[in-house]
Structure 1
Amino acid sequence: MSDAHPAADHARNLTLIGHSDQGGRPDGVQLMVNKGFAITGHMFSKGFSVIDVRDPKNPKPSAYVAAPENTWNIHLQSAGDLLLVINAKDMFAATEFADEKAYYTTSVGKTVGTDEVGKRQRDWTAGMAVYDIKNPAEPRQIGFMPVEGGGVHRIWYTGGQYAYASALLDGYSDYCFITIDMSDPTAPREIGRWWIPGMHSAGGETPDWPAGKRYGLHHAIIHGDTAYAAWRDAGMVILDIADRTAPQLIKHMNWSPPYGGGTHNCLPLPNRELLVVLDEAVLDHQEDGVKHIWVFNNAVRDNPVSIATFPQPDEADYKAKGGHFGPHNLYENRPDGLVSEELIFTTYQNAGVRVFSIADPYRPVETAAYVPAAPETLVDHRPNRNKVIQSCDVFVDADGLVYANDYNGGLIILEYGG
């Protein structure tokens, strides 16, 4: 950590112990920690990076793997000795999404030409890459699952035979749910698929939802034979995946409108029969409304009931600050990291990293916060972006160290004192 690293704009019960600019690529999206190495996908620097965090006070860049041309690797999953990395069209390098509002308010299959097979020549790599990370400092690609379309957006994988992903496939209006057989990691293959009726444009389906709403899967979190899928402006979709080849709908529930949509994470807390569901803030200055993190009673799998929302950060005027203000992501209780059904670790974009206790699920309480100072550089190359922090993802290791990254500000490592 540089001694010159600026003091936080706000800190409570979280102490900065390490910082890395990730080898001059300080933009990060999804973050995993595996055998003492942080692995992060990049939003603008293409590819992904590995940072040695075995000494968390002195993290050191270890490896960088470039993405194929016109392709991004923003999301990834590690489990044991395997790393799965998405390959998809680099949406934020595309002229059609120069104004990011278009990305969040448009059926992307129509925009990038994948809902009509063959309408646009593909100049990107689409699918999922598999790496051997017995030594995380030296990722070695061993497999690839191609898809026909825009590519894969985000994966859920905790080891074993199956992975689950959101995929933008030819003939569909937006990302749908796929199951992947990982029996042979050198040759993963799709074995099942589910989408909301109306999304399969090549099959003659037409949407019955309002224009300007994105009915596309962000990703699902799996518990047992149930997939809890965050379907952006379509809310939450719960699927029975006992037959991995033929997912079946259990429940689709949507609270947009009246709320602003953007559902991003649906985290089951099975021992307490709860769900924590996060709606992502996707537009500057809360143009898309106040976004919430919700607590649901999930005692009845086909009838979750909302019982609380998390408090909003209010120690500064974050709505006026610039960039996005509101929830983006939460730590998803990875089995190789901290597993807690009481503490919820989240990122709030320009309001930094937050920790909440849901000991009383009807009254979530913030227990810690860390808002880094403005980033040294603006990596985000899109027009009209502010040089403000946009805390993106958070990972908590088994020892309780908190790792968080940012679109511009690099990797921070924090100790929780709540």
Structure 2
Amino acid sequence: MKAQRHHREADSWNLRLVGHCDLDGAGDGMHINLHRGYAFFSHMGNTGTSIVDVRDPEDPRLVGRIPAPPNTHSHKVQIVDDVLLVNRERLPPGLGGSAVRPWAAGLSVYDVGDPRNPREIGYWACGGKGVHRMTYWSAPYAYVAGGASDVDDQFLMVVDFSDPARPVEVGRWWYEGMHQGERASRSWGDDRTVKFHHGIPRGDRLYGGMWDAGLVILDISDPTAPTLVSLLDLDSVDGPSRCTHTGHPIPGRDLLVVTDECTVDDCKGIEFRARLVDISDEKNPTVVSRLPTPPGDFCSHGGRFGPHNVHEMRPGSWQSSHLVHVTWFNAGLRVFDVTDEHDPREIAYYVPKAPAGHPAIQLNDLTVDEDGLIYVSDRFAGGLYIFELDNA
């Protein structure tokens, strides 16, 4: 049918494809970090972590892999100096995982001074399903979303990597009602899942998604004792809202870009959104606008249609006070100008052709290097894509 052919073709505006690597058939991608000319590319399934030589971005090449333990996926990576952190979390049932078989739960630590030959130097263990995501932007602290036996789902743990071979947890934070001893004080019903997805640091603040509870701002001036500054229930003030994933501060501004992760196929349920939030009064953050929803018949293309994550502007990566890059699953990569926070405008997009055997692309996560090259993963099969703005 004509509609089916249309959605399988690439479509773009103001972005060009520089290079692509299908990861030798293991194109189920998630988090990407860059180091010494190599992309460390994590996988949704049990493949582990791929190492891709991107020194020639027009010809990225798979050169190695770090395997994942059985029944475990390692879909997040973070690198500071020559220290690589790789998460260990129980493989989800939809990807072949089991709550009955053993799995690894924690963080593996590698020396990547030689990027082609990572050397494991340490391990940090936690409980629950393991580590879902971590933010490690500067030594010594990593802000880790993981599990424990006495706290529901995942919460914040601060881990000290002063000695990468012997990481130590130094602080914790969870929202009241998440601890098993606090269930009577829960302020939410059974129709919501409240968990800490991950946090982005700026100064002595950490900004994060609390899933169905909205946006959280934490004071991390004392890493051993993070405290709550405010929680913005997005569903109440700009609903419907569920699955709040990221709260990212825009450099030089009292402004966050906040994404709700689309978690369902074919536009079932609510519309998932990306918002701009004013934090000039951090105890009373305010939604000022929404990023425009990509136009088109994406609901008929298959897969998820909605935002996932933004380019997280970690030190050494591309920084901007006015441009925001967002992965939008089957609507591909979208770039927005947020100079006027009350009127954000889309200025570029790229929707790659659907991978063979899949109805649509599902662009998942991304990072942008200091020269403006955009490295993006597909969630199920497409692998690594490298893009560049036409006017870069």
**TM above 0.5, one fold?**
yes
1:401 aligns with 2:381: no
Distance in 2, Cα, partners of 1:19 & 1:180: 35
Q: What SS does the aligned partner of 1:16 have?
A: strand
Residues 379-405 of structure 1, C-alpha deviations (whole Å, 9 max, x = no match): xxxxxxxx3211001111111111111
Residue in structure 1 matched with residue 187 of structure 2 by the alignment: 208
- 1:53 is matched with 54
- 1:11 maps to which residue? 12
- The answer to whether the 8 A contact 1:25-1:45 is kept is no
Runs of 4 or more, structure 1, over 6 Å off, are 94-97
Q: Structure 2: how far apart are the matches of 1:12 and 1:406? A: 19
Indicate conservation of the 8 Å contact 2:308/2:326, yes or no. Answer: yes
Trace 1:220-259 onto structure 2 (pairs within 5 A).
220-257=199-236, 258-259=239-240
Q: Secondary structure at the match of 1:286?
A: coil
Once the two structures are superposed, residues 358-398 of structure 1 have per-residue CA deviations (whole angstroms, 9 ceiling, x without a partner) of: 111111111110001110245xxxxxxxx321100111111
Match of 2:321 among 320, 323, 341: 341
| Structure 1 match to 2:4 | none
Counterpart CA distance in 2 for 1:259 and 1:305 is: 16
What is the number of residues matched between the two proteins? 382
Structure 2 counterpart of 1:147, one-letter code = C
1:9 offset after TM fit, Å? 2.5
Relative to 1, partners in 2 of residues 1:80 and 1:23: Cα closer, same or farther, differing over 3 Å?
farther
Change (3 A) 1:415 1:7: farther
Aligned with residue 411 of structure 1, among 374, 384, 388: 384
**Secondary structure, in 3 states, of the residue corresponding to 1:319?**
helix
* Residue 302 (1) aligns with residue 303 (2): no
The alpha-carbon deviation at position 256 of structure 1 amounts to 2.0
- Counterpart contact for 1:171–1:203, Cα < 8 Å: no
- For residue 34 of structure 1, report the CA deviation from its aligned partner: 1.4
Correspondences of 1:55-204 after superposition (within 5 Å):
55-93=56-94, 123-202=102-181
SS at match of 1:271: coil
* Higher deviation after alignment, 345-354 or 295-304: 295-304
* Contact 1:200–1:206 under 8 Å retained in 2: no
Query: How far apart are 1:52 and its partner, in Å?
Result: 0.4
Does 2:342 align with 1:362?
Answer: yes
Partners of 1:282 and 1:288 within 8 A in 2: no
Q: Is the 8 A contact 1:162 1:180 kept in 2?
A: yes
Which one-letter code corresponds to 1:398 in the other structure? Answer: E
Counterpart amino acid of 2:305?
A: F
- Residues 251 and 319 in structure 2, CA contact (< 8 A), matched pair in contact too: no
Q: 1:94 offset after TM fit, Å?
A: 6.7
**Amino acid in structure 1 at the alignment position of 2:283:** D
Alpha-carbon distance between aligned partners in 1 of 2:293 and 2:67, rounded to the nearest angstrom: 37
Are the aligned partners of 2:91 and 2:97 in contact in 1 as well (CA < 8 Å)? no
Distance in 1, Cα, partners of 2:242 & 2:252? 28
The Cα of 1:149 is off from its aligned counterpart by 2.0
Q: Which structure has more strand as a fraction of its residues? A: 2
Specify the SS of the correspondent of 2:299. Answer: helix
Identity, % of aligned positions: 38
Do 1:31 and 1:395's aligned partners in 2 also have CA atoms closer than 8 Å?
A: yes
CA-CA distance at 1:122 after TM superposition? 6.4
Counterpart CA distance in 1 for 2:112 and 2:281 is: 39
Equivalent residues in 2 for 1:14-25 (5 A)? 14-25=15-26
- The one of 272, 277, 283 equivalent to 2:258 is 277
1:26 matches 2:22: no
Matched, 1:266 2:247: yes
Asked if 1 retains the 8 angstrom alpha-carbon contact of 2:8 and 2:360, the reply is no
Shift of 1:300: 2.0
Secondary structure of the corresponding residue to residue 238 of structure 1: strand
Q: 1:31 to 1:179 in 2, by over 3 A?
A: same
Contact 2:127–2:146, Cα closer than 8 Å, also in 1: no
1-side partners of 2:303 and 2:150: how far apart? 34
Per the TM alignment, residue 79 of structure 1 is displaced from its structure 2 partner at its CA by 1.9
- 1:324 matched to 2:304: yes
Report the counterpart of residue 102 of structure 1 in structure 2. none
Q: Is contact 1:260-1:288 (8 Å) kept?
A: no
Letter in 1 for 2:300: A
Unmatched 5+ stretches in structure 2: 1-6
Q: Measure, in 2, the Cα distance between the counterparts of 1:347 and 1:95.
A: 25
Give the distance between the partners of 1:235 and 1:122, measured in 2 at CA.
33
Contact 1:41 1:73 in 2 (8 A): yes
Query: Unaligned regions of 5+ residues in structure 1, if any?
Result: 1-5, 98-111, 113-120, 379-386
Q: Partners of 1:7 and 1:91 in 2: how far apart?
A: 28
Q: Report if aligned partners of 2:8, 2:354 keep a CA contact under 8 Å in 1.
A: no
> Mean alpha-carbon deviation: is it higher for 297-306 or for 186-195?
297-306
CA distance change for structure 1 residues 232 and 16 in 2, over 3 Å: closer, same or farther? same
Q: Matched residue of 2:137: which SS?
A: coil
Amino acid at match of 1:326: G
* Maintained 8 Å contact 1:198/1:207: yes
Paired position in structure 1 for 2:3: none
Name the residue aligned to 1:390. 362
Write the letter of the residue equivalent to 2:79.
Answer: S
Contact residue 72 and residue 97 of structure 2 kept, 8 A: no
**How far 1:203 sits from its partner (Å)?**
5.8
